[in-house]
Every structure is written in structure tokens, then in C-alpha cells.
Structure 1
Amino acid sequence: MIKRPWLRYIMITSLKLGLALAFVIVGYLIYLDASLSRVFASERYQAPALVYASETRLFPGKHISKQQLIEQLERLSYQRSSSTEETGYYSHANNLVMVHRRPFEFADGAQMSKRVEVRFDGAQIQSIREWPSGVALRELRLEPQLIGRINPLDNEDRLLVGLEVVPNLLIETLLLVEDRNFYHHSGVSPWSVMRALVANIKAGRTVQGGSTLTQQLVKNLYLTREQTLWRKFHEAMMALVIDYRFDKNTILETYLNEVYFGQDGRHAIHGVGLASQYYFGRQIQELTPAQTALMVAMIKGPSYYDPRRYTERTKQRRDTILRMMYENDLVAKDSYIAAVEAPIEVRESRRLVEESYPHYLDLIRRELGEIVLPPEWHEVGLKIYTAMDVDLQSTAQKVLRNGIPGRAIDGLQGAVVISDYRSGHIRAMVGSTNNDGQGYNRALMALRPIGSLMKPVIYASAMSVADGMHLGSRVVDEAVILEDEHGKRWQPENYDKTYLGDMLMYQALVKSRNIPAVRIGLEVGTRTLANYLKAMGVTTPINDYPSLTLGAVELSPLAVNRIYSTIANDGRYQPLKAITSITTHDGLSVYESHVAEPKAVYTPAVSYMIRYGMAGVVSLGTATALQDTLGGATVAGKTGTTNDYKDSWFVSIDGEHVITTWLGRDDNSPTGLTGSSGALMINREIYRQAPPQPMSLRPQGDVRLQSFHATKGVRIPSQCPQAVTVPAPPIPLNDDINCDADVDEKSWLERLFGG
């Protein structure tokens, strides 16, 4: 029996307060359990969409030089070394390149690392063999380059990785340094707190923290960094709840994907997956012991232990961790010595993506808006695989930014679109002469009159609607007076204000004569021309007025590229796409681009004849200035100039790509440039740095090369001085015909289209 009432009072009061406090804590824990568990389960972090360029496929016979392959490897952060035993290294000698390809999660599944020997024969690959077995390979895929990221929610960047792909050495080192009892405590470790307190008292300063990995995770995800007792209490309670509700591996995986590693501009680098690429240009599976120790060292303070700014300080911290790894049997003695002696080596660039591609990424964002994605995709992250060719994109950006060689024109803007017309993939897109990514993407949004780019459409349509029309058909270049859409007198003119009389369609196309195109276009019908444009992907309004025959239709550079891709692709239209596939960060397929069966707009024979005529534009006509950069390759082209020199266009077709270039001013004022003196010069510089693949001019279908009289459009012997040889459907050559081609009667086709 307690004889002192005050003592009894204190004990009862303390018991009541304790019960009340316990009740509050239990209630608080129940509240945290109800709210925190749900959030942690589904909204732990935000993951961006990481955008990749097209992968490089190497195979015997591929046209790529040894130097070009080396440049691609170095752009992918492969390092040159005499030894290629580790992934991410290459060596070369004579006509050989040895590559140890990294493991990578491609869109169609993971591929393991592979060490190969690539042998060259001049500027093409002769063979690819696995090393050291010597087994011949049909193909080697190099991992695609990261070109950007899209994150609509915040500026945190991460590449989500599963615990199964994180090396054991990294996990064990992390736990050794940060939380040795991680698998044995309940989220909070009193012993760690006491040990840290003693160490800090002995040192007279803070040298050790007592927080568990779970507490660090809670602080990073949900709390501020203020040092108060309330925040520490809040942190401990939250750690207890998370540890109770979630298994240790889930917590550890979340920590590995959340831990902060520094800044890439305004983007925060989170997680070991992206940090490995940011600092070393390597996959997380490739880390060496020295790199593993450096990663763990930076966790304590990415700014304080910045390997680029504070090399010595960071090396001391790394070496301390390496010693701990050795003393705890995580690395062997020889590995420890080699790691300690290794200098701090990280990527020089502080940018994860060294060159920006703003206009292509703008295209990606627009395409994403048309794809049905998981509503909460930012919780799992996306990998967007695209068709972008890094070499072509970089070249196009640089060339357009530099402008026309030898000419400086204030306020000149432009756009370039490069597509692979067989696959329907957009390989490059530049929407401005500036490369800051600000403002208007002219490749997509600028609607400008196309001028003479309309002529190949007119002639192809005429060949399609009039049976027997071909490049050898006679056309007339004589003055014509018409009524425009307002009922007013309209007299179109040629560029040089002259008229040349009778000529072949081939010559009219090569010399870009306006009047023959107007005459034929009106006979075909402007409504028919508008329908052909729509069949080739034009979705913007088309006024089917007579002026349409002179290119009075406003199209974007991308729309123009679609039209000419149809002509290049044997007359078959298919939409042009940039995104090829999408997966989550862990490789689950979300979207696969399936190219629909191309729709026939023109026959292969008609398309071939138009390409043949456009090749004449380059060899004989308005685009001859392109020839000196082609290296003998056959390339087709078409210039375009609008009234008062406001728009300069050029489109070229080689054996693989269609390149569309537009130059002009945003205020629509004159530039003083024709298609030849402006846009063509941009294409020429692109070809100078990225030589074209030759285009085949082998006749297709029943079309074959035949000779026609230069002004009368009838078949004559090829040895005649007036003969022009062009492809056309088979036309018999009469035995009694001579070089003068005296004929008494015009055919109905000549009467229809000739005047």
C-alpha cells in the first residue's frame, strides 16, 4: 500500500498520460497505415518516358565504314581498349573492329552481352563472327541511343529497374554501408541510432547517421529535410508502417529506384539504373567494383561527393568503401587492389542526353497523343523506341542552323524532314533554324504554298487518268488565258517569261515549265488533282481552283514529304511514323506500330516515270547544283519557288530516303531565294555529310526506254539527232518513220493534252 498520496497521484497520472499517448500513437499509426500504405503501393514515384533513337543493325553486306562504326560506338559511350573482355569496350586494327556489346532490353525482348569481331571490306561489312568461337552471325544489334525523356508531372528522371537485374555486389555494398541490419529490423533500428550517437559524440561532429534505409526512403519520398524532433518522429512512424505492410525486397527495390544522385540541368537523377548511365554510360549490370563503390559513395551526398568537381574527396570516400567491401569478403584481394588503383572515371558531360532534338521530340509527343496508353503510365515508366537516325538528325540540325553556305539572310527560317519511304519511318525532323526547342515547329505546323512541287503530281495524275500518257508525250508551252476562281482574267507565265512551244513532258518536268503543267493540270481537272493529294495524306483544305496547277496549295514540309514518299514507294501511300514501339521500363509491351498495307495511288510504272523525270531535274534541269555532292549516285529531285520568292522548296529522293526542305520567313516576306539557290543548298550540305544511297532507275512494269522526237512526241530511231530517250509503255516504231517524224494526224491524246 502506497503511503505517499503524491507518489500515487504521479503514478496514476503518468499511467493515464501513457495510455493517452499510446492511444494517440496507435491512432496515428492506424491513420498512417490507411493513407500511407495506399500511396506507397501505387504512387511511390514518378517515372518518365525515356525516348530512344533507332537501333543500329549490323550485318554482312551493310554499307558502313569502319570509321562510321567506331563513331557510333563512341556515341553510345563504348570505350576503346586493348582488351574487350568487359562489356562496353571495343578495339580495332586494320580492317577489324572487336566489340563487346552490352546487354540491353530491346523492344522485342532482352539480349545478353555478346563479344564479336566485325571484319570490313572497304566501306561495307564483310563478316561478323562471335568471339572466341568464330561462329558466323547473320546480324548484330547495337543498343539504341537515349535521345530524350518526356515527363509531364515533374522533373524527376529515373529508369525503373527490378531487384533481379541489380548486381548482388551493389546490393550487398549498399546494405554494408547504409544499413547492415536491414533484413532484421522493423523499419527503425535503435541500435543503429545508439551506435551513431556514440560515434558522433566521439568525433565531436556528425560522422554517422542512424537512419535505416526505410527511414531514408520515407524522408526522400514524403518528408522535408528539416532537422526537427517532430520530423524524426514522423519519419520513424512512417518507416514502421511501411516495414509492417511491405516486404523487405519491395522496400529495397523502391529505395534503389528512388535514391538521389544529382542534377542533369533541371532534371533530378534518381535511382541506380539511370545514375549508372548518367555517370558511366553503362547499364547497371555492367558496373565494375570501383564503379559500384563510387555509386554507393555518392549516396551520402551527391553534391559533396561529386566525382567531376571533387575528385580527390570522392576517391577517398570510394576507397573507404572498397576497403569495407574487401574486409567483408565482397571482393577478392586482386580485385580490391585493381579497384583502389583505378582513377575516378566518369562521363565528361553533365548531360544525360548530350545533344537535344527538340523538334523530333515534339513529333513524338504529338504521336503519343494518338496512342492509347495506360492511364497511370508514369507509375511504371515507358521506353519509347523511335525511328530517329541520330546521324541524320544531327546532320540536318547542324546544316539548317548553319544556313546557306556563303549567304547570310536575316530572319530566314526553315524546316527539314527526312523519311525512309519503304518503312514509312521518319528518320529526322528539324522545325527551325534555331536549336533551342522554343516556339514553332515549322516541319509540322507551317503551311506554305508548294509552287512547282505540284508538277510531278500533275504529270503522274495525267499518266494515270489518260491511258498512254508518258514522258515522251508532246506538251505545249504557249501562252494561255484563263478565268480564275473569281471570274477574272488569269494569264499564268513561266519563270523566265518566255514560251518554248512544243516539247516533251520529260523536258517540261526537267526544266520546270509552268505553262505545260497548267494546261495538263486543267485537262486532268483540279478536283481530280485535289483527290490525288488527299489520297497521299493531305488533310488540310485544298481549293480546287485553276491556280492549284501552279502549286497554290498550302502544305507543311511533313505533308510534302508524304506526297513524295508515295512517289518514291512505287506509288503506294503509307502514313509516316516516328514511334515504332513502346514498353514499360521492365519490358512489358504497351504499343507496337503495325504499318497498314500501303494503298496504291499511282501504278509502279507511273511512279517510276516520274522518278526518272525527277532524276533528269538533277542531271539536266533546275537542280544540277546538287550533282557535285552525289559521288556518282543517282538521285531524283524537284525544286519549288513561290511568287515573289517567298518560299524556297527542294525535295530529293535517293535509294532510301526522301528529304524535304523548306526555307522562308515567318512574316511571309520575300527571301530572294529560288528552290535552286535556297532549299537545294541545304539538301546538298546534308548529302555532303551523309552521302546518299543510289536510286535505281531500272524500268518497272511494261515500261521500257524508247526514243521520241523532241518536239513532236512520236517514236523515232534512237540515232536521230532530235531523239530524246525516256521510259514509256511499248510503242511500235514504224519501219517507214524517219528522223523528221512526218505525221499527218495527231492522236486523240495529243489533241486532248496538246492544246
Structure 2
Amino acid sequence: MSVKVKLGNGGKRYEEDPRTRRRSANRPLWQRALLFVVVGGLACLVLGAMVFGYYYNHYQQVVDDRLNNGPLFASTAQVYAAPKEIRTGQTLTAASIAQDLRRAGYNSNPNLGTYRVSGDVITIKPGPGSFHSTDGATIDTTGGSVQNIAAENGAALRAYELEPQVITSLSEDKNRTKRRLVTYSQIPKHMVQAVTAIEDRKFFEHNGLNFGRLIKCGIQDTLTGHFACGGSTLTQQIARGFFLTPEKSIKRKLIEIMITLQLESRFNKQQIFEMYANQINLGQRGSFAVNGFGEASQAYFGKDLKQLDVAECALLAGIVQRPNYFNPFRHPERAIERRNLVIRSMVEEGDISASQGERAQAEPLKLAPQNVDASEAPYFVDMVHDQLQQRIGDQQSSGTLRIYTSLDPDLQKAASDAVAQMMPRIDEMIRKRHKGDAPIKYPQVSLIALDPHTGQVRALVGGRNYGQSQLNHALSSRPTGSIFKPLVFATAFSQSVNGQALGDSGPFTAVTPLNDDPQDFSTGGKSYTPGNFVSGEYPGMVPAQVALEHSLNIATISLAQRVGFENVAAMARAAGIASAKPTPSVAIGTYSATPMDMAGVYTVFANRGVHLNPWLLASVRNDRGDIVADFTPEARQVLDPKVAFLTQSMMEGVMTHGTAQTVRALGFTAPAAGKTGTSHDVWFAGYSSNLLCIVWIGNDDYTDISDNLTRKVQGADTAAPIWAEFMNRAIKLPQYSDMKPFTPVPDGISLYKIDKATSQLADETCPGGSFTAAFLEGTQPHNTCSHMGDGTGIMGSLFGADSSTAGTNMTGGGSGNNGINNGNGSNGYNSAPTNTNPDGTPHRNIFQKMFGLGKRDENNTQPTPTQPATPQSPPPQQIVIPR
């Protein structure tokens, strides 16, 4: 008998055999449970496989998209320093030359070049990948100096350029990441062993997952409620670093496993380790993240990765776990303890012997200097990056670039170290002079050093600390202060060279008298009565040389007025100060320019009148050595060479007798010319025969650096000492040790010794001192201090001579002449104005001011018998514009 069951709406009937129903009902319970489990398990497996397959394919697509969307690592541009030039006579040894070549990659990279040292002789052979041609050289350094240089064919060479060194790599992205890509073959064996010993001992054996560690960490994290267990393999760390966020969750862990399996199926172990070695974060350097062992090797040890020993490899492997915690600069004890743990792990794995491990653990930390500004010139490199964007744009992305620049790494270190040493002293000066309750402002700084004859920027410091502020103050526009003043004197000399007289005074010379009495240089109906640096100090008539040496504002403006403010502004614009306008204040630097602009301005004086735009980029090449772009400097003649020399001669006097004497007191004695400057900021601009340097100090908020100080901060006591410290370091470097007197005197100019007391030619009878000044032929004084007619001469009023005995004093306002013999035996000056200050007190001469002599007795307010006590009109309102 069968049972008919009606099912569904189609009217179809299905019959069930009662025997089958009885057999199912009669099965034991355990069999039915087992069947349920098996069927359920199969269903779960099928479902799991479907889910796994879906996500596996999904993340396969994710990996494909990442791998197919360009290389894993963005193309990095390597920035190279300028080639170091070896010249005969330099103090150098074969060993030091070899060290430079080793840093550049010679011997470790034969494609780049090789060298061989034999005693005091080094033989250099560039390879096909060298920046230079493949011409080699042999250099003999017997006795500790370069005796001779011979080309491969035996020909004698005066100089030979070494391979440029890598400074750094350019920042890859907005996250300010730095890395130096390495291949697996470039990674030392001990580096691989150190990483696997501490991070993943079974790396070369497993398929990307260490199930034992996964299970252990899963249990541990479940029990503690924290995802803190480090159970990831190297491949998992790559999966996390390239494709995932740092978030810790079960979902992210499952995705990480999917990507790990994808990576293991696509790449071999060497390729995976290479990815890891370039991707892993190893801390921070300045404002940049250090990624990869190649960059870390340079950041921590200043070496190429291939050059690391066992202890150094172990240190890098050890800090992978917690880079900031194990930072060897901040926490050397922690770093050494972690390093030694890695070394012991390497011994346990049999990677090194016990004796090797003991020696490595006993090795002290040998870290590179931490001063990132000194070693990597980050402000300079940022400028290189910006200029590349402007000049070659998207070509940067077409492969790895080699960028060759003008930087001198040794000079960069000297610049950075000088700033680092001197700025704390300036901070202390500001602390001591601070008054009131306002917060103390510590100023920023910039230093630019360049070759005055090529315009190459050799060193650049753009701020106190790049890690704290990436604002490049070398490119910040600020009032130039008194370092502008030489342009006023150059304008006057230009007119003399062109045959123009300075009013009715004849040609302008270093001893032309200038009026430093209070004056109103009104323009457009507006009064303008500037003062000198020291309020109320007016030396009266002074020679032009003294006016520049002591940075006298009124005398300089009066000279600018006589030569024409329009002409001064035009001269400034031609020299690179685009903001200059024809107003009286232009003469004392109230218009703004950047320190980089001012470096260009001073090339005019240092380079026989030729202006050179400071430049950083020399050449850009691709990774095959093909030229992408070459750059040439821009030059233009701004001054007649005679004018440049005459102005330079006056600035030499500033160093010897004027406001820049600080430089000489600090031990820099090489021939040099320069000028101090003080406005809201402080400056020093100066140069030797082979190096030009600009130093600027000021506040970021553009306030006066001397606000809330008991005494004003000057360029002479802040910027000038930094300049001196830098130049003292530079002259000790072989490539700058030959600072010589300036270029030969141009035709049509002669040097004369001038008597300080009279501004006449000095002879053996002159009782006072003398100084050397340059004159256009025919414009020099023709009398001597002992044969100048009756009276004491043109310097009487300046140096305090009694007017009753001075028969030949100077006049102000351009009357008279400049002391050229007019045929009557005198030096041609008319009577001087009354030699008094606005309050009726006698002028003190410039040396009385310098040494505090000739002041009135502050305790005696009664007039002297020869000075009637008559009421005096108040002096005009003064605008003190410091030097």
C-alpha cells in the first residue's frame, strides 16, 4: 500500500515508500547527528570556499591594481653635490681622496668607477656610469699635499674633479618620505640575517603565514582583549604597509592574510625581502620619515648600505619594531640593548659565530652626526626641487633622475656648524638685554655662501632647525639695512668714472667730504629727518671713507641726494633689488630684498662689476646617464670694473677700521671686504677672493629684533660673528685655504696711503696713522700731510682740530672741492660751518665717539666760560635709522 501526497499547485502527486520512512525513523540518534554535522560541515566548507574565492579574487584585483598602477615605489631623484676639485698644492692625502670616492660609490659599484691606493699615490678610473668621462688620473700626495696629477696618458694636469657624492634623495610625496631604493643583491647578507633572526626566522621556509605564531597570538589577543601580539611575517608586514591602514581588527587581519597569499603566489622570497627592505619605516630625520634600509644606513651611519658591519646591521634590524622608542640618537642604551638581542638571535640561528657575536656586542655606537642641515642641506634640496618643477616639470616622473648641483658638502657642514654654534650665543645676548614681561623672541637665521666668480651656491642654511620649520629664510624678502649702502657709493664712483663731477666738488673719491649734520630730506612736502645709529650723535663733515666705515646714515643720504636718488634706485634694480624706489630712504636700505638677492648684489663688487644670478642646478640626467637638462648661469655687466674695485676698496676699510672690525677680532685675517647692516633685522655681507657669504638674522613676524631689549642688537655683534665663524671654518678646508688678495688693480686706478688726520697723502712726517685708498688716476690728493699750506687740513673738524688754526676746513652741502690741488698750494676747501651739534655742544670726532672721549661732564651742568648759557632751539625731530 502506498500513501499519496498532494504537493504544490500543479496537481502532481508524489508517492513515498513507507519502508524508507521506517528506515529513517529507525536510525540511531548518533547517526542522524553525525549525518547532520557532515552535511552541515560540507555546506560550510562550500560556503567558506565560495566566500574565500570571492574575497581572494577581490583582493587579487586590489593587488593587481596596485601593482599595475606604476612601480611600488615612486621614482626617486638622487641629488648630487658638485664635484670636488683636487688641485696641486692642496693639503690632502691619498687616504682622504679614497674616502671621498668610497662615499661616492667607487669600488662598491664598478660601473661608477674604481680606485687603487698605493702608499701616497691613488689611481682613479671612472666607469661608464660616471658623471664625468671615463678619463682617469693618478694623484701623488707625498708629504700630505698634492704634488702632481697625471692623466692616463701621462700628461700633467693642474686639477682633477672627483665623482660627485649623493647628498640625499628628493622627497617623494606630500608625506615627506625619504628612501634610497636598493636591490636584493645590494643588501648585505648580515642585514638579511639580522632581520629574519629577530622578525621572522622561518621567512625562507613558510608560504607567507606562520600558523603557529598566528594561533598563539590569536589566543593571547583574545585573552587580553588587545591586538598587541606581533605574529606577522615579513610578507604580512608588506601587505599591511602597502595595502592597509594601521587599524587593528579581526577583519583587517583576515584581509591581510588574503593579500599575503597573493604576494607569496606572485613573487619569490628575494623579491619580497627587497620590497620589505625598501618599504619598512625606520624612524624620523628632521621633518622626513626614513623608510627603507638604504636611507636608514645614511641617516644613522652616513654610509652606503653595503658598508655596514654586523653590529650596524643588527641595530637597524632592531629598531624596526619601535623606531622612535629605540632611536639610537635619543635612547642609545635602549638601542644597544635591542641591537645585542638581535646579535644573540643571529648566533642562535647560526648566522654568525659566538666570537663574532661577542665582538659585535662590544662595538660602541658609531652614529653619523645628527645635524641634518649639515649632512643633507634640506633647505638647499627644497630649492632644487622647486626649480626642477619650474624648469622640467613632468619630466621628473620619467624614471629615476640624477640631479647634479652646486653644493659643497664640506662647506655646507661648516655653514651649519657655524650657525649651530653661534645662535645660542645670540639667544643669550637677547636674554640678557630683555626687559619687561613680554615673551622673549628668539630670531631666525639664514646663511648663503657662493663662489663670487661663478655664482654657484656652495652652502645654504635657511633657518635654525629644518625639523622645526621648513620656511626657507634665504628666500624671505626683508629690509636690507646698511648692507645696501655700498650701492650709493658705487653710484657716485660710476659718475666719476664717466667724467661727471659731484656737484661743484669735482670727481667723487674716498676722501670726498660728506655732511653728516642733521638735515631734512623732505620729499613731496613731507619732512624726513633721519638720524644716525646713536641718537644725537653727529660728527659733522666726514670723508666718504669714514661715512661708509662707520655706516653714517645722514652722510650716506646726503651723498645719494647729490648723485640723484633716481640713479641710486636704478643702480640697485640693475644689481638685483627690484623693490628699490627713488626716495631718500633708499640710501639706507629701507626697501626689501631676500638674502639670496643680496648674495647676487655682492657678486657685482666681487666679480669686477659682473652680476651673477646665484644658481644651484648644474645638470639633470636619467638613470642611463642621458642628459635631461643642462643649466648655465646668467651674467650681466652692471658696473665698470673700476667702480667695482673702488667700492670694494672702501669695504676693505670697513673690515679694518669700521663697524666690521669684529670679524678681525674673531681671528679672520684673510683679505676681505664687507658691510654690516641693521634695520628691523641684522645683516652681514662680505667676501674674500674665493668665497662670498651673506648672513641675515630676524624675527619671523617681521617685528624689530630689538623690541623689548635694553640695548639694540646690531649686525656687528650678531651677524658678523656668525660670518667670521663660518669663514674661519671655510679657510681650513683645502678647497678654500688659498684666500688671496683681491684681483689686480684695474688700469686707471692707483692705491695711495692717506693720512687719517688730514686726508692728504701720507709721508714719513705724518704723526697720525694712515690707511690705503684707491683713486681714479688724477683724483687723488696732491699734497702731503706736511706740505699742505697753512692750517691742519680737511680732517680738522673731523678729528677735533682747533678751528682757529685750521685754514683749510671742509664745507658742507657740496661747496668747495674734494681736495684736489687747485694750483694755489692749498687743498681748496672753504670755511666749514660751525662745528657744533644742534644743542650747541661741540661735535665729537669719530674716534672720540668710538672710544667715549670728549663727552660733557654729566655732573657739571654749568656752561663753560667760553660757551654762553643761551637758550637753544630744540633739535629737529629725528628718525633714528640704525646701521
- Global fold match (TM > 0.5): yes
Shift of 1:16: 6.5
Residues 215, 236 of structure 1: 8 Å contact kept: yes
Query: Secondary structure, in 3 states, of the residue corresponding to 2:686?
Result: strand
Residues 623, 676 of structure 1: 8 Å contact kept: yes
Distance in 2 separating the partners of 1:438 and 1:575: 26
Shift of 1:252: 4.2
CA 1:46 to 1:558, structure 2 compared with 1: closer, same or farther past 3 Å?
A: same
Shift of 1:653: 1.3
Distance in 1 separating the partners of 2:318 and 2:521: 80
Residues 703, 730 of structure 1: 8 Å contact kept: yes
Structure 1 position 542 matched with structure 2 position 580: yes
Amino acid in the other structure paired with 1:696? P
Residues 633, 693 of structure 1: 8 Å contact kept: no
What are the equivalent positions in structure 2 for 1:45-194 lying under 5 Å apart?
54=81, 57=84, 59-61=86-88, 63-64=90-91, 108=131, 119-121=142-144, 125-126=146-147, 139=160, 141=162, 144=165, 150=171, 152-154=173-175, 157-167=178-188, 188=207, 193=211
Match of 2:67 in 1: 40
Distance in 1 separating the partners of 2:200 and 2:139: 39
Distance in 2 separating the partners of 1:734 and 1:114: 55
Residues 193, 351 of structure 2: 8 Å contact kept: no
The number of equivalent residue pairs is: 694
Match of 2:238 in 1: 217
Distance in 2 separating the partners of 1:143 and 1:610: 37
Amino acid in the other structure paired with 1:499? G
Distance in 1 separating the partners of 2:722 and 2:617: 26
Alpha-carbon displacement from aligned partner over 1:608-667 (angstroms, at most 9, x marks no partner): 22212211222233433433445642111223345xxx5543322112222333456653
Amino acid in the other structure paired with 2:385? L
Distance in 1 separating the partners of 2:88 and 2:446: 30
Shift of 1:259: 3.8
Match of 1:618 in 2: 655
Structure 1 position 28 matched with structure 2 position 55: yes
Amino acid in the other structure paired with 2:566? R
Residues 415, 447 of structure 2: 8 Å contact kept: no
Match of 1:637 in 2: 674
Alpha-carbon displacement from aligned partner over 1:461-493 (angstroms, at most 9, x marks no partner): 333345147774763423695653332354566
Match of 1:576 in 2: 614
Residues 214, 251 of structure 1: 8 Å contact kept: yes
User: Which segment is superposed worse, 593-602 or 268-277?
Assistant: 268-277
Amino acid in the other structure paired with 2:484? M
What are the equivalent positions in structure 2 for 1:235-384 lying under 5 Å apart?
235-244=256-265, 250-261=271-282, 269-278=290-299, 280-288=301-309, 307-321=335-349, 323-324=350-351, 339-344=356-361, 348=365, 353-356=370-373, 361-362=378-379, 364-372=381-389
Query: Secondary structure, in 3 states, of the residue corresponding to 1:699?
Result: coil
Query: Secondary structure, in 3 states, of the residue corresponding to 1:342?
Result: helix
Match of 2:423 in 1: 400
Query: Secondary structure, in 3 states, of the residue corresponding to 1:242?
Result: helix
Match of 1:413 in 2: 443
Residues 280, 346 of structure 1: 8 Å contact kept: no
Distance in 1 separating the partners of 2:681 and 2:545: 25
Amino acid in the other structure paired with 1:659? C
What are the equivalent positions in structure 2 for 1:555-594 lying under 5 Å apart?
555-578=593-616, 594=631
Distance in 1 separating the partners of 2:664 and 2:619: 37
Q: Percent identity?
A: 20
Amino acid in the other structure paired with 1:527? E
Amino acid in the other structure paired with 2:661? T
Match of 2:633 in 1: 596
Out of 530, 534, 539, which is 1:498 matched to?
539
Residues 385, 581 of structure 1: 8 Å contact kept: yes
CA 1:554 to 1:276, structure 2 compared with 1: closer, same or farther past 3 Å?
A: closer
Shift of 1:672: 2.6
CA 1:128 to 1:436, structure 2 compared with 1: closer, same or farther past 3 Å?
A: same
Shift of 1:395: 1.0
Amino acid in the other structure paired with 1:528? N
Shift of 1:104: 12
CA 1:155 to 1:308, structure 2 compared with 1: closer, same or farther past 3 Å?
A: farther
CA 1:99 to 1:615, structure 2 compared with 1: closer, same or farther past 3 Å?
A: same
Out of 461, 478, 500, which is 1:447 matched to?
478
Distance in 2 separating the partners of 1:240 and 1:439: 42
Shift of 1:533: 1.9
Residues 104, 166 of structure 2: 8 Å contact kept: no
Shift of 1:519: 4.3
What are the equivalent positions in structure 2 for 1:399-478 lying under 5 Å apart?
399-403=422-426, 408-410=432-434, 411=441, 413=443, 415-420=445-450, 421-430=452-461, 437-438=468-469, 442-445=473-476, 447-450=478-481, 452-466=482-496, 467-468=498-499, 472=509, 475-478=512-515
Alpha-carbon displacement from aligned partner over 1:176-234 (angstroms, at most 9, x marks no partner): 9958796xx9x9368x7589989x99xxxxxx999775444223433468887755553
Amino acid in the other structure paired with 1:534? R
Amino acid in the other structure paired with 2:303? R
Larger radius of gyration: 2
Distance in 1 separating the partners of 2:445 and 2:230: 56
Structure 1 position 683 matched with structure 2 position 719: no
Bigger relative CO (Cα 8 Å, ≥ 6 apart): 1
User: Which segment is superposed worse, 297-306 or 574-583?
Assistant: 297-306
Query: Secondary structure, in 3 states, of the residue corresponding to 2:654?
Result: helix
Match of 2:687 in 1: 653
Out of 724, 743, 747, which is 2:822 matched to?
743
Shift of 1:429: 4.3
Structure 1 regions of 5+ residues with no counterpart?
Answer: 79-91, 202-207, 326-335, 751-755
Amino acid in the other structure paired with 2:479? R
Distance in 2 separating the partners of 1:294 and 1:110: 39
CA 1:384 to 1:462, structure 2 compared with 1: closer, same or farther past 3 Å?
A: same
User: Which segment is superposed worse, 235-244 or 98-107?
Assistant: 98-107
Shift of 1:317: 0.7
User: Which segment is superposed worse, 720-729 or 471-480?
Assistant: 720-729
Amino acid in the other structure paired with 2:584? P
Distance in 1 separating the partners of 2:743 and 2:694: 24
Shift of 1:457: 0.7
Amino acid in the other structure paired with 1:188? N
Amino acid in the other structure paired with 1:616? G
Residues 189, 211 of structure 1: 8 Å contact kept: no
Q: CA RMSD in A?
A: 5.9
Shift of 1:497: 1.1
Structure 2 regions of 5+ residues with no counterpart?
Answer: 1-19, 25-31, 106-116, 220-228, 328-333, 435-440, 501-506, 732-736, 790-819, 830-883
